Structure 1
Amino acid sequence: MILLIPVWMWTAWLITPKKKLVVAIVDKTEISRQGQEHVSLTWVLNQERYTKTSSKPYHVSQDYFGFFPQQGEQFRVKGLERFTPAQLDQLSNDCKAAYYTDTYGVFSNEWFSHKNVTERSGLVYGGMSKEDIALLQLMKDKHKTIITEFNTIGSPTAPEIRQQFEQMFGLKWTGWIGRYFESLDTTTNKELPQWLVGNYLKQHNNQWSFKNGGVAFVNDKDEIEILEAGTHLNEAVPHIITGIKGQTLYQLPSSIKYSFWFDVVQPDSSINQVIAQFRIDANDAGMKLLKARNIPAMFPAVTQHTGKDYKFYYFSADFCDNPVGMGSSYFRGISFFKFLFYDSSNPMERKSFFWNYYRPLMTTILDELYREQ
């Protein structure tokens, strides 16, 4: 009987009616064919039976605008940069929503073999373009839904494009980004970015005494600040704290750990509403470092504008980049078995974030979008 459960779940998914919902997905940071930077979105679209036409489902390796890996070191760029103003206007008519999952791009050390991925290098393709921002303006003018997340407006996006985005949506990037590292010990953690360590040493008298985990902050001037567990942090891993509205509306947990990249933004409260915040649990020593750099200990994680004029969401982290496979999206009710897919005691795992935060958040947003179209 138990062995038949997967068959029933797959059958239930298969007989669920398809629902056409056209979403323009932009991903400029795809270095595999697995759609890693937008796979979480495609998973939700497929699980909920949303299709790009009346019958064709979304394919994670095909249905987006951006960077497309090919065999070997070959690639194709199929971004919005090739669109004329008339084509962008048509796209904004056809789409119910636009989701910019990542415009950071692809750099030469990531793409070409025999390169050190912990070092910085030249840009192959990336950054928000004038065509990207033009589509967002069209979507806003036509009262459509716009979803964006880190990294949409950070480096390597040009300052003038970033400023257009900030003015368009009432949200300003402070210049700071950050990430949790399980170990800051350079002798054991070989994945620590060399540019991060090198710049910190230059700015702090060539001193690097960190051994524990912690949070590294970097700004657009390459200034580095590091908060170490025990020394500066009561709790090493940043947490996303969601208010009552977010918990009720999107079925989100009040608190969840987040161990990947994030940015620090300042929304205009007269335009946008913050429904969830990052919390850096700093002690007195940590608060002193944050204050000196003008970095808040709590800052927006989910910002939204849900007026009748347009809908806008900004997720201040790599929300859509989670290590999930598309296979599980073909089983109705799979979320009842989500505990089988992750070990929440591991501070670095991100699957629990997908199952407990991103999935319910995007399921609700897409459901509202479909019902309102």
Structure 2
Amino acid sequence: MPMREEVKLYLRRLTPLLILFLGLPLLSYLIWRFYPEKKLEVILVDKTVPNRNYREHTGVIWALNHGKFKKNTGADYLVDQDYFGFFPDGSQDKKGVVKDLEGKSEEEIKRLVSESDLVFLADTYGVYESDFGQVQQEKKIYGGLGKSEIELVRQAKDQGKYLIAEFNSMASPTSKSVRSEFENLMGVKWTGWIARYFDELNPEENEEIPLWLLEMYSFQGSSWDFTGPGMVFIRDSGEVEVFVYGLDYQNKVPLVRTQKMNKHGYKLPQVIPYPDWMDIVLVERDYQVISYYDIDPSTVGYERLKKMGLPRYFPSAVFREINGGRQYYFSGDFSDMDPNLGYHTFAGLPTLWRGFYVTADHTNRHSFYWNYFLPLLEQVFNEAGKKTP
């Protein structure tokens, strides 16, 4: 066969692949470009930004931009600019600068909220010396819910805006007085307990077991001799309880359950594992439960939960309608996300990633994001957007 014919045959065979790898992304991009733009002015608070990966709010910004939600100016949201909190500068000396609501008057915050549609408290835990190197004694640089954020929540509630708060909005290092104000405004009561699942409880085999946790447990006069999967419950008083999988509870990884036929209309997976930090809260009766945590405690585990003052099920995502707006509380570190989410400018990309990251895979944070958190954010953003003039 002549060389020219071989080349033609090769190109002919290559054409379907070129259409697949070049044509489909181009088509996806063009479809996204024709999506209608929507206005949604968001006040985002993230005080836990020790470096420039912005992992505590990058997933929120990605969702806004993929959904073509624009600021009042018509501009896109920028992950390194459009939030209140700590702004790292990459240096070991100065470390960063604080740009938040502190120092603003009640009238200024009132006006800021009046010009917005949604307030999002992503994380207020803060930034610490250990984020920038080894230290002998942990020291806070910046963090905790403050009076200015309390006024932000109050104004959002009074003005009937949408508000989302999630794990660590009110736990350590927030003061008890400020936390109490937050709880009263939100109708959410923290039990004082936070919890997290670990694939391996043996610290010699799992570097994710923090040293401070082992030290807190030793202060109780007990020896940490746990192995295998398990959950750790930590109280603000310093008490530590360890639940061993198979002995104290039956769902290896805590499950987030959403009823398929829920009256709220949220389209979410019925079951998805959640292995990260959560706070255990109680909510007022006017709240509606979107999802809840289920660890399936054994008889022994259930008795331990009762002694700890905790219920059989823990709220995961809840909301209530108030003054024409809505208050949401996500009692998990949902926004904590590996920043490598890819470009937001392609239609159907979340559907594609949901095919790659199955709901059962708890080892990759992207699985929880694409299958649960992003769909939840999209639905809340669309709800809030409908109220925008």
8 Å contact 1:246–1:252 — kept in the other structure? no
**Unmatched segments (≥5 aa) in structure 1:** none
Q: In structure 2, what is the equivalent of residue 241 of structure 1?
A: 257
Give the TM-score normalised by the residue count of structure 1: 0.93
Q: In structure 2, what is the equivalent of residue 76 of structure 1?
A: 97
**Aligned residues: CA RMSD:** 1.8
Q: 2:283 aligns with which of 256, 264, 267?
A: 267
The verdict on how the C-alpha distance between 1:143 and 1:154 changes in structure 2, with shifts beyond 3 A counting, is: same
Task: Give the drift of 1:292.
Answer: 2.2
Identity %: 35
The verdict on how the C-alpha distance between 1:191 and 1:247 changes in structure 2, with shifts beyond 3 A counting, is: farther
Q: In structure 1, what is the equivalent of residue 46 of structure 2?
A: 27
- Aligned residue runs from structure 1 range 248-287, under 5 A: 249-269=265-285, 271-287=286-302
Task: Give the drift of 1:345.
Answer: 5.3
8 Å contact 2:251–2:294 — kept in the other structure? no
Q: In structure 2, what is the equivalent of residue 2 of structure 1?
A: 20
1:357 aligns with 2:375: no
**Whole-angstrom CA distance in 2 between matches of 1:41 and 1:126:** 20
Q: 2:199 aligns with which of 168, 174, 182?
A: 182
- Aligned residue runs from structure 1 range 96-111, under 5 A: 96-110=117-131
**Unmatched segments (≥5 aa) in structure 2:** 1-18
Query: What amino acid is the match of 1:240?
Result: V
- Aligned residue runs from structure 1 range 13-162, under 5 A: 13-73=32-92, 74-110=95-131, 112-115=132-135, 121-162=138-179
Q: Which moved more, 1:254-263 or 1:305-314?
A: 305-314
- Aligned residue runs from structure 1 range 290-309, under 5 A: 290-309=305-324
Q: In structure 2, what is the equivalent of residue 197 of structure 1?
A: 214
Q: Which moved more, 1:213-222 or 1:84-93?
A: 84-93
Task: Give the drift of 1:97.
Answer: 0.8
SS of equivalent residue, structure 1 residue 66: strand
Q: Which moved more, 1:191-200 or 1:128-137?
A: 191-200
**Whole-angstrom CA distance in 2 between matches of 1:357 and 1:343:** 11
Task: Give the drift of 1:158.
Answer: 1.0
SS of equivalent residue, structure 1 residue 328: coil
What's the CA shift string for 1:100-123, capped at 9, x where partnerless? Answer: 00011111111x22348xxx7111
Task: Give the drift of 1:303.
Answer: 1.3
Query: What amino acid is the match of 1:114?
Result: Q
Query: What amino acid is the match of 2:62?
Result: W
What's the CA shift string for 1:217-272, capped at 9, x where partnerless? Answer: 00110100010112322222111111345486121111110000000000011x21
Q: In structure 1, what is the equivalent of residue 5 of structure 2?
A: none
**Whole-angstrom CA distance in 1 between matches of 2:103 and 2:198:** 38
Query: What amino acid is the match of 1:2?
Result: L
**Whole-angstrom CA distance in 2 between matches of 1:226 and 1:247:** 35
Task: Give the drift of 1:82.
Answer: 3.3
**Whole-angstrom CA distance in 2 between matches of 1:82 and 1:341:** 46
Query: What amino acid is the match of 1:365?
Result: V
SS of equivalent residue, structure 2 residue 304: helix
What's the CA shift string for 1:111-161, capped at 9, x where partnerless? Answer: x22348xxx711111111000000111111111111100010111111111
8 Å contact 2:254–2:293 — kept in the other structure? yes
Query: What amino acid is the match of 2:362?
Result: P
SS of equivalent residue, structure 1 residue 327: coil
SS of equivalent residue, structure 1 residue 361: helix
What's the CA shift string for 1:305-329, capped at 9, x where partnerless? Answer: 1245331000000111122534232
**Whole-angstrom CA distance in 1 between matches of 2:256 and 2:386:** 28
**Whole-angstrom CA distance in 1 between matches of 2:353 and 2:308:** 39
Query: What amino acid is the match of 1:23?
Result: V
The verdict on how the C-alpha distance between 1:10 and 1:266 changes in structure 2, with shifts beyond 3 A counting, is: same
Task: Give the drift of 1:296.
Answer: 2.1
Q: In structure 2, what is the equivalent of residue 173 of structure 1?
A: 190
SS of equivalent residue, structure 1 residue 81: coil
Task: Give the drift of 1:285.
Answer: 2.5
Task: Give the drift of 1:48.
Answer: 0.5
Give the TM-score normalised by the residue count of structure 2: 0.90
The structure whose Rg is larger is: 2
**Whole-angstrom CA distance in 2 between matches of 1:353 and 1:151:** 18
8 Å contact 2:193–2:233 — kept in the other structure? yes
**4+ long deviations beyond 4 Å:** 244-248, 343-346
Q: In structure 1, what is the equivalent of residue 303 of structure 2?
A: 288
